[in-house]
A and B are shown apart, each in its own frame.
Chain A
Amino acid sequence: MIAHNLPALQVVLPLIAAPLCLLLRGSNWPWAFATLVSWAAFAISVALLSQVLDSGTISYAMGGWAPPWGIEYRVDTVNAFVLLIVSAIGAVVLPYARVSVGHEIPAERHPAFFTALLLSLTGLLGVTITGDAFNLFVFLEISSLSSYVLIALGRDRRALTASLQYLIMGTIGATFIVIGIGLLYMVTGTLNMADLAARIPAAVDSRTLLAAFAFLTVGTTLKLALFPLHSWLPNAYAYAPSVVTGFLAATATKVSVYILLRFFFSVLGTEYTFERLTLEQLLIPLAAVAVLVCSTVAIYQNDVKRMLAYSSVAQIGYIILGIGFVSTTGLTAAIVHLFNHAVMKGGLFLALGCVMLRVGSVRLDAFAGLGRRMPLTMFAFVLGGLSLIGVPLTVGFISKWYLVQAALEQGAWILAIVILVGSLLAVIYIWRVVEVAYLRPPPADAAPVSEAPLSMLIPTWILIGASIYFGIDTSLTVGIARRAAETLLGVTP
């Protein structure tokens, strides 16, 4: 019976767990409870993924109400993969959270913190798994609202303004999405995604559909922080607590990319989106600019968290570039980069959290001499950085390989060069940190600093280790990404 209800459990488990977490007292109980729930969610997503890989798309009618009137949870290769990414990051970040949160957030707020984290997890999982458009909006707002709370818990008072700015922009984005959904409903009379996909071809000439398309485009690109709608991201990531940045950087934008994929490939269809309305002509230039501009801005940051935040916007540019190619290779590149970026950025931000714990700051100057004082943490940072650069034997290389392949397949030489130049820009900003950490002696009056505790080092190294492992043995990630790409493009394998 559990096996049959896995799709529902994926969301219901963390959802019910969240208010329960609020009732727990102290710091350790909420943390332990949240960690167990996140592991359970991870186990469920693994089970779902293997089920989908074996027997194809799962369709689950929530509450037994048959679609298209009832809400349907529909799991295919694409969202099974994203579910895996989100729950895996959650499962790795939560054990890390005990010490990190204990250090950065006042004790009386811990139950609320873990509650909000569970709600965020719920929302992200819900967005990914649902097959109903309005349900997607609801879960999106659940995850967003809890994210605003999580970000606002940062120590620096700028976290408050960052959270408010994110709130305003995020709400506008989500509202645009809901307008788009409403207009889609007006045109087709249904909210079920599969049903929408079936009915939209009949309405392609409608101006309402065009308006829906426009609103959905702006809303989703705002949520996934595509240049120039990315301005909420650097501040939000920079001032949030380390655990929050690590979690959100690896999940929130990935799920928003999933929303884009789902709406534009599955619901509206590639023919309407790309052949009739040529969305790629908007996506590709913006993505290319994102890669170049944001990588350059990252170089000039003195706060390493901010630097990596801009780097994230650039990496999202890569993902959108891959989508813009509208080819199997391009989509494979984009989808595999969802996974690859999650592990490498997650690992990098967790490493920064270790530094924050021991040194108290993540400004560039604070890294002086850390190569010697915190060798494991800095080495993790170096490996993650090499992955961002795209050195072979890391996941970053795999993504770049497929991206440039996709560009070359379409003869887009300039884009291939843009992608490679982005790597070179990454060399500059990563090497700024490496030089300070390894080649600058610590200030004479610096307090002695020890290595981070194991409970934080192990999750960091799990993610960094994954970023190396999946750069060598790519059969799993690339295989799933390719199948997902073929599903989205409607190519029969």
Chain B
Amino acid sequence: MSGATAIILTLAIPLIGAALIALCGRWPNLREGVTLVTAVLLFLTVISLVPEVAGGGRPSAKLIEMLPGIPLAFEVEPLGMLFGLVASGLWIVNSIYSIGYMRGNDEANQTRFYVCFALALASTMGIAFAGNMMTLFVFYEALTLSTYPLVTHKGDEAAKQGGRTYLGILLSTSIGLLLLAILWTWQVAGTLDFRPGGILTGKMSDTALAILLFLYVYGVGKAALMPIHRWLPAAMVAPTPVSALLHAVAVVKAGVFTVLKVVVYIFGIDLLRDTGQSEWLMYVAAASLIIASLVAMTKDNLKARLAYSTVSQLGYIVLGAALADSWGIVGGAMHIAMHAMGKITLFFCAGAIYTAAHLTEISDMRGLGRRMPFTFGAFLIGALSIIGLPPFGGLWSKWYLALGALEAHQIALVAVLMISSLLNIAYLLPIPLRAFFAKSAESVSAQAAPQQGIKEAPLPCLIAIGVTALGCLALFFYPTPILQLLEPLVAR
């Protein structure tokens, strides 16, 4: 099928899927089947675009001219292709996991859950394949709105508060800062299209460029740059599959993806490097990186710790963008994939622990590894990938980020990367290690009322965990396809 059709299908499939899921609400097995089929179809459609994009082509589609000169248009390029693959691929795994989790915890409102998931994925596809900033903005807002019911799924007071923080921060930043940035760009450049080399060259003064960059980066609240990161820990009130969606599949990835796209296609790498106006961002990202890691170490709630870990990891990607050189961009883009795979593993494990053992605090998990070896084994793999140790994929993205820092003569930032890896070890590694090797916590043995003790999580969850853990491993051995895909970004 042609590129244009494929692009439209990537939007249509999840939308139609959402409608079908809503209709099948009364038959849970059928409904879950629809979700899985939709996810697989979406992934296949996305894959069908890869050959053309990898070969240098840019499939595009245009829907309607919303405002004069600003159409709702799509164009697939390497960054978007990567993001689209990550999101659609992980949706399949996440759906499998969700089935196990939602049923294992007997959650209410499951139909609404799956429908909103599908809608969120449709929005994500729109973001990934957007051809201009307006289209991206439209689907960005759609993503915020479609994930709100997911964040407030539980419906209790805590969920409401979490939802308020989530929506409040994301909408304030997108309407107050991002929209302003888009309008200013339109004013100055006369277009909002994504073009290699950017659309702002020679049109703005240096200070204006810096301010515009500030508006964009902080306007994209989903990138969770400190201090607007608060929505991410607040969104932990959601069920774990939603957290996985937020952190790994779609939401934060959409945020940093947008930042990368803006840097590469609105500003242009050369413009930023030549004017040096992204230097402040490097330091802000570095600070966010380190501070979030430090906060993560203080958190005893597993999901909260993982949340701050994500904030820190997103800082890596923003740092890569801010370096405004080839390796930095490549490293940042690769990290979208690597971090997604690693983090989703970690969240899946967190959810499995909650489902099987009803535990949320790390201090209660001592010795649990002996009863849930598979889960904590996968956790270990995910943690090693995030830390960036071989033989797991996370190594490559950190490698290229370090190269990028060197290329930009930012030795201090290389040091920052090193330090943060150490901090990652400090807050991630103890969890599986203590689970395997420490004595069981008092509360756990006291709670072991059913004499069999704690068993592993439901099977679908385990399947999902296994797949993503293997994914971390696979990405170590096969980074080349990703590199080849991203090459045009940095070709001179």
Question: B-contacting residues of A (Cβ < 8 Å)?
Answer: 386, 389-393, 398, 400-401, 404-405, 408-409, 416-417, 420-421, 423-424, 427, 431, 435, 438-439, 472-475, 478
Contact of A439 among B67, B152, B168 (CB under 8 A): B152
A391 surroundings in chain B (CB, below 8 A): 141, 145
The prevalent SS among residues of B at the interface is helix
B164 surroundings in chain A (CB, below 8 A): 431, 435
Contact of B176 among A401, A424, A474, A475 (CB under 8 A): A424
A411–B434 CA distance with the chains assembled, in angstroms: 60
Q: List the A residue with the shortest CB-CB distance to B157.
A: A439
Which 4 pairs from chain A and chain B are nearest by CB?
A: A392-B138, A408-B187, A404-B183, A423-B175
Cβ-defined contact, B67 with A401, below 8 A:
yes
Q: List the A residue with the shortest CB-CB distance to B68.
A: A478
Cβ-defined contact, B160 with A435, below 8 A:
yes
A386 surroundings in chain B (CB, below 8 A): 145
A435 surroundings in chain B (CB, below 8 A): 160, 163-164
Cβ-defined contact, B64 with A473, below 8 A:
yes
A421–B175 CA distance with the chains assembled, in angstroms: 8
A134–B141 CA distance with the chains assembled, in angstroms: 49
Q: For the complex formed, measure the closest distance between the CB of B205 and the CB atoms of chain A, giving whole angstroms.
A: 14
Q: List the B residue with the shortest CB-CB distance to A392.
A: B138
Q: List the A residue with the shortest CB-CB distance to B179.
A: A420
Cβ-defined contact, A431 with B167, below 8 A:
yes
Q: For the complex formed, measure the closest distance between the CB of B150 and the CB atoms of chain A, giving whole angstroms.
A: 13
B163 surroundings in chain A (CB, below 8 A): 435, 439
Beyond the given A416-B180, A424-B171, A427-B168, please list 18 additional residue pairs across the A-B interface where CB-CB is below 8 A. Answer: A391-B145, A400-B179, A401-B183, A405-B183, A405-B186, A408-B184, A409-B187, A417-B180, A420-B175, A420-B176, A420-B180, A424-B175, A427-B175, A435-B163, A439-B155, A439-B160, A472-B72, A475-B65
A400–B180 CA distance with the chains assembled, in angstroms: 11
A342–B237 CA distance with the chains assembled, in angstroms: 39
A474–B176 CA distance with the chains assembled, in angstroms: 23
Cβ-defined contact, B187 with A474, below 8 A:
no
B149 surroundings in chain A (CB, below 8 A): 438
A sample of 18 cross-chain residue pairs with beta-carbon separation below 8 angstroms, ordered by A number, consists of: A389-B171, A390-B175, A391-B141, A392-B138, A400-B179, A408-B183, A408-B184, A416-B180, A420-B176, A421-B176, A424-B171, A427-B172, A431-B167, A435-B163, A435-B164, A439-B163, A472-B66, A472-B72
B interface bracket (residues with beta carbon within 8 Å of A)? 20 to 34
A438–B153 CA distance with the chains assembled, in angstroms: 11
Cβ-defined contact, B179 with A404, below 8 A:
yes
A390 surroundings in chain B (CB, below 8 A): 175
Q: For the complex formed, measure the closest distance between the CB of A457 and the CB atoms of chain B, giving whole angstroms.
A: 19
A424–B72 CA distance with the chains assembled, in angstroms: 24
A439–B163 CA distance with the chains assembled, in angstroms: 10
Please tell me if B137 contacts chain A, counting CB pairs below 8 Å.
Answer: yes
Cβ-defined contact, A405 with B175, below 8 A:
no
Cβ-defined contact, B138 with A405, below 8 A:
no
A398–B134 CA distance with the chains assembled, in angstroms: 12
Q: For the complex formed, measure the closest distance between the CB of B200 and the CB atoms of chain A, giving whole angstroms.
A: 15
Q: For the complex formed, measure the closest distance between the CB of B220 and the CB atoms of chain A, giving whole angstroms.
A: 15
* CB within 8 Å for A439 and B175 given contacts A401-B183, A409-B187: no
What are the interface flags for B40-65 relative to A under an 8 Å C-beta threshold, 1 for contact and 0 otherwise?
00000000000000000000000011
Cβ-defined contact, B180 with A474, below 8 A:
no
Q: For the complex formed, measure the closest distance between the CB of A230 and the CB atoms of chain B, giving whole angstroms.
A: 25
A423–B142 CA distance with the chains assembled, in angstroms: 16
Q: For the complex formed, measure the closest distance between the CB of B213 and the CB atoms of chain A, giving whole angstroms.
A: 17
* CB within 8 Å for A424 and B184 given contacts A391-B141, A472-B66: no
Cβ-defined contact, A416 with B159, below 8 A:
no
A420–B138 CA distance with the chains assembled, in angstroms: 16
Cβ-defined contact, A392 with B65, below 8 A:
no
B137 surroundings in chain A (CB, below 8 A): 392
What are the interface flags for B130-162 relative to A under an 8 Å C-beta threshold, 1 for contact and 0 otherwise?
000010011001100100010010010001100
A107–B457 CA distance with the chains assembled, in angstroms: 65
Cβ-defined contact, B160 with A474, below 8 A:
no
Q: For the complex formed, measure the closest distance between the CB of B143 and the CB atoms of chain A, giving whole angstroms.
A: 12
A389–B138 CA distance with the chains assembled, in angstroms: 14
A409 surroundings in chain B (CB, below 8 A): 187
A42–B60 CA distance with the chains assembled, in angstroms: 41
A447–B149 CA distance with the chains assembled, in angstroms: 26
Q: List the B residue with the shortest CB-CB distance to A400.
A: B179
A478–B186 CA distance with the chains assembled, in angstroms: 18
A400–B183 CA distance with the chains assembled, in angstroms: 10
A478–B142 CA distance with the chains assembled, in angstroms: 23
Cβ-defined contact, A472 with B187, below 8 A:
no
A405 surroundings in chain B (CB, below 8 A): 183, 186-187
* CB within 8 Å for A427 and B180 given contacts A389-B175, A392-B138, A409-B187: no
A475–B71 CA distance with the chains assembled, in angstroms: 12
Q: List the B residue with the shortest CB-CB distance to A408.
A: B187
Cβ-defined contact, B67 with A478, below 8 A:
yes
A450–B187 CA distance with the chains assembled, in angstroms: 49
Q: Which of B65, B180, B183 has the most CB of A within 10 A?
A: B183
B167 surroundings in chain A (CB, below 8 A): 427, 431
A423–B145 CA distance with the chains assembled, in angstroms: 15
A424 surroundings in chain B (CB, below 8 A): 171-172, 175-176
A416–B181 CA distance with the chains assembled, in angstroms: 11
* CB within 8 Å for A404 and B159 given contacts A389-B175, A409-B187: no
A15–B145 CA distance with the chains assembled, in angstroms: 46
A392–B145 CA distance with the chains assembled, in angstroms: 11
Cβ-defined contact, A398 with B138, below 8 A:
no
B159 surroundings in chain A (CB, below 8 A): 439
A134–B145 CA distance with the chains assembled, in angstroms: 50
